[in-house]
Amino acid sequence: EAGVVQSPRYKIIEKKQPVAFWCNPISGHNTLYWYLQNLGQGPELLIRYENEEAVDDSQLPKDRFSAERLKGVDSTLKIQPAELGDSAVYLCASSLAGSYNEQFFGPGTRLTVL
């Protein structure tokens, strides 16, 4: 069974440029999460989707970040414009609605903003 797929794995851009990350969750997983992981820190939730609906985007900086999951399957996270402080690893995870909420994580996209 394929795991959570993310692309690209690495991205280097200059500040003020736009960037987009793509995630394909595990087949059949209706819940999708985007996390931000800064160096030396644990992941922090940016947004959670139930199917195509963003049910928790309270931590998403909406002035520059946006996300979509149009058909309730794969998802895109965008930053426009990127700032130096956005350099981090962006993790995608997915899960089935269940009693203990096991979240399966992708390998992440490491973003470097110069």
Which two three-digit tokens encode residue 51? 């199917």
Least distance between another protein and beta carbon 112 (Å): 15
Asked if 17 interacts with another protein (CB under 8 A), we say: no
Binding segment for another protein (CB under 8 A), chosen from 12-20, 36-44, 61-69, 72-80, is 36-44
Q: Which residues contact 83 (CB under 8 A, 6 or more apart)?
A: 15, 16, 64, 113
Asked if 27 interacts with another protein (CB under 8 A), we say: no
Binding segment for another protein (CB under 8 A), chosen from 11-19, 62-70, 75-83, 87-95, is 87-95
Helix (H, G, I), strand (E, B) or coil at 85: helix
Distance CA 8, CA 68 (A): 17
